[in-house]
Amino acid sequence: MWFKNLQLFRLLENPPTEVDVLEEALAKQAFRDCGSLEFSTEGWVSPLGLGGETLVHAVGGFQLVCACRQEKLLPPSVVGELVAAEVLELERQQGGRRLPRRDRQAVKEGIVNRLLPAALPKNRRTWMVIDPRGGWLWIDSSSRARAEEQVTLLRESLGSLRVVPPEASVSPASRLSRWLAGEGLPEAFALGDQCELRDPLEQHRVVRCRGLDLAEEEVQAHLAAGMQATRLALNWHDRVAFTVDAELSIRGLQFLDEVRDQLQDVVAETDAERFDADFAIMSHELASLVPELLEGFGIQRPT
């Protein structure tokens, strides 16, 4: 159980901390498969996987939940070909008169309804951690928009949930640029080997660097020319490596040897015990990393 990405949301009010209360709330929107004429469904599944029996898994004060979205796969190219063929036949029957737009739409809807019952479903799971003590909701997603959808689902299940993305007191791109230039990088962090730079006046001008010493002259020259860092790879205490961008999204989380080695000291005889150990260690690391990183952007810890 290791997150690969992190979208952060500050809890302005804590959700129910009692596991049974949270479990009951999520159960009202438990996941179900799509009906024959449904494009998609979304709900809660066990974060422990197919054999799990609970919707909330709590370890060390952290609560792990998992949303599942199922979508029917209907390739647009296939639908388009069938619609074109049927429209062509209808126009032929009407002496070549062009079919009105509303009739074309009706043809498309009819074809989709015929195909949906046999369409293959695809499931996408998204894990979230509620950190009541730290005041954060962490979502394992590379997309802020997708994470917002999961927040909406959680809010609907709980009835209310006041959360906001972190808001920096300084421009994140300006702060990332300073760090890349070797100025003011918090002591706990070191530069990695990746960055993305953009021209603030011409956003289409982008430079991406990978596998480089970011202190090299060719990288620093782009900063000197007025470009800004919009994504930067960082290393935290030689324990976690990641990239952070100007929207404060964290991607490419890598838990390094110092963290993984902790598992060697854990006595876990079952898969469930190993899962708990992974989750506990990951949560502990993130609970320390997140506030330290955000403080670098002028975001204070919740009080």
* 90-133 tens-digit pLDDT: 888 888 888 888 888 888 988 888 888 888 899 999 999 999 99
Using pLDDT thresholds of 50, 70 and 90, give the confidence band for residue 271: confident
Percent of the chain's residues with pLDDT above 70: 99
Average pLDDT over residues 135-154: 95
CB neighbour burial string for 132-168, b if at least 16 within 10 angstroms, e if fewer: eebbbbbbbbeebeebbbbbebbeebbeebebebbeb
- The predicted model gives 248-254 an average pLDDT of 96
Domain residue extents for the chain: 7-71+121-164, 76-117, 172-295
161: pLDDT strictly greater than 70:
yes
* pLDDT > 80? residue 268: no
HSE (side-chain half, CA atoms, 13 Å) at 85: 7
User: What number is the average pLDDT over the span 142-163?
Assistant: 94
Alpha helices per DSSP H over 28-99 = 76-93
Q: What is the separation, in whole angstroms, between the first and last Cα of the chain? A: 29
pLDDT band at 18 (very low <50, low <70, confident <90, very high): confident
How many residues are present in the chain? 303
Per-residue pLDDT band at 24 (split at 50, 70, 90) = very high
| Most confident option among 7-21, 122-136, 200-214 | 122-136
Q: Average pLDDT, whole number, for the chain? A: 91
More confident residue, 301 or 233: 233
Amino acid at 236: W
